Structure 1
Amino acid sequence: MASARRELRRGLAAWGLEGLADCAELVLTELLTNAVQHGCPPQGRQIETRCERLASGVRIEVHDANEDWPELQGQGADAESGRGLLLVDALTGSRWGVGPRDGVGKRVWAVVSHDGSAPDGCAGR
């Protein structure tokens, strides 16, 4: 996970989007954690990350070989886990989703941007 975060920060710096780095890194970490914990990739299958520069930010994708799509679920105050997508939803202003990928599995994506859809602290001023 550390190498994916470093690559994301390098890409954001190259694109002049350093102000989005903390929020984007948190979103990437949550998506990767979900892929590792719930994706259950088959032996020999890897989890892949991709980032795409957008006009106002970055689109982050995490690909895994599991066919099960994650769903946003409400969690009780006492729950010890299960808040990852709730956090991604809040940080991205609900700009995330799931889609098929080439081959087996799915891709989960999220957009972190300067457009004001994210809460204060993640807007990358």
Structure 2
Amino acid sequence: MTPAHDRLPLPPRTYQRAFTPTPHSLRDVRRTVREYLDRWGLGDLTPEACLVVTELLSNVHKHAGGKEGAQCTLALREMPGGVEIVVSDSSSTLPEIKEPELYSDSGRGLALILHVARRLEIVPTDTGKDIRVVLISVPSEGPAAEQELPSQKQVGAAPGVSELLH
């Protein structure tokens, strides 16, 4: 029999990559996200994770200097029943979550992310900001499927930046 101290939980599996986001790099990033989620047994989160990564990296390219070659970091961290996605960039400008204008060509990304995410957190850092998104896999059957999930989505950031939404 294995002693209890030999059966400690494994640390979460992670992936991290620093790069300059471009429209052409997004396809490769989505492929990598899919591969890691499949490897971690979270393939059912692939559509949502790819949407989140595409929206966040597109925002870096458009708003945080991606056009000038600014780098960002994408991190994935496996968590029980889900994945945390973190995009870090060097811009201190925090995105606003607002209702997009009906005929606007942009402004829907964070609203789409809120629709699929369990948690969205915008965190100012000494070097810019982190945007953290948690996606949870909802089992289709078994005891875990019978657990009640929170009805509210949490949106967090520095005080005064955002508040709990429902």
Shorter-chain TM range is 0.7 to 0.9
Residue equivalent to 1:98: 122
> How do 1:106-125 and structure 2 match up within 5 A?
106-115=129-138
- What letter matches 2:109 in structure 1? G
| TM score, norm. by length of structure 1 | 0.82
Deviations 1:66-118 (A, max 9, x none): 1111110111222221010000111114x1111134x5211111111124679
| TM score, norm. by length of structure 2 | 0.63
> How do 1:41-120 and structure 2 match up within 5 A?
41=66, 45-93=70-118, 95-101=119-125, 103-115=126-138
Change in 2 beyond 3 A, CA 1:87/1:42: closer
User: In the alignment, is the contact (CA less than 8 A) between 2:64 and 2:70 conserved in 1?
Assistant: no
Aligned to 1:26, which of 51, 55, 58? Answer: 51
Runs of 4+ in structure 1 displaced over 2 angstroms? 41-45, 115-118
Which of these two proteins has the greater Rg computed from alpha carbons?
Answer: 2
Larger relative contact order (Cα-Cα within 8 Å, sequence gap ≥ 6) = 1
Instruction: Name the SS for the 1:4 alignment partner.
Output: helix
Aligned residues: 116
Q: CA deviation at 1:9?
A: 0.9
Change in 2 beyond 3 A, CA 1:52/1:33: same
User: In the alignment, is the contact (CA less than 8 A) between 2:61 and 2:67 conserved in 1?
Assistant: no
Percent of pairs with identical residues: 32
Aligned to 1:37, which of 54, 57, 62? Answer: 62
CA RMSD, aligned part only?
2.1
- What letter matches 1:112 in structure 2? L
Uncovered stretches (5+) of structure 1, i.e. residues with no partner: 119-125
